[in-house]
Amino acid sequence: MIHLAGPYVVAALLVGLGVMGVTVRRNAVLLLIGVELILSGSLVLLVASGAATASRWEASSVLPLFVITIAAAEVVVALAVILTAFRHRGSIDLDAPLDDPLAATSATRGDRT
Whole-angstrom distance, CA of residue 80 vs CA of residue 67: 20
Whether 78 and 47 have beta carbons less than 8 Å apart is answered as: no
Residue 42 beta carbon to other proteins: minimum distance, rounded to whole angstroms: 11
Q: How many residues bind other proteins (CB under 8 A)?
A: 75
104 binds other proteins (CB under 8 A): no
59-89 and 28-49 helices, crossing angle to 10°: 180
Q: Which string of x and - marks every residue 58-77 that binds other proteins (by CB under 8 A)?
A: x-xxx-xxx-xxxxxxxxxx
Query: Which residues are within 8 A (CB) of 98 and not within 5 positions of it... i.e. 6 or more apart?
Result: none
Minimum distance of other proteins from residue 100's CB (angstroms): 18
Minimum CB–partner distance for residue 12 and other proteins (Å): 4
29 vs 100, which CB is nearer to other proteins?
Answer: 29
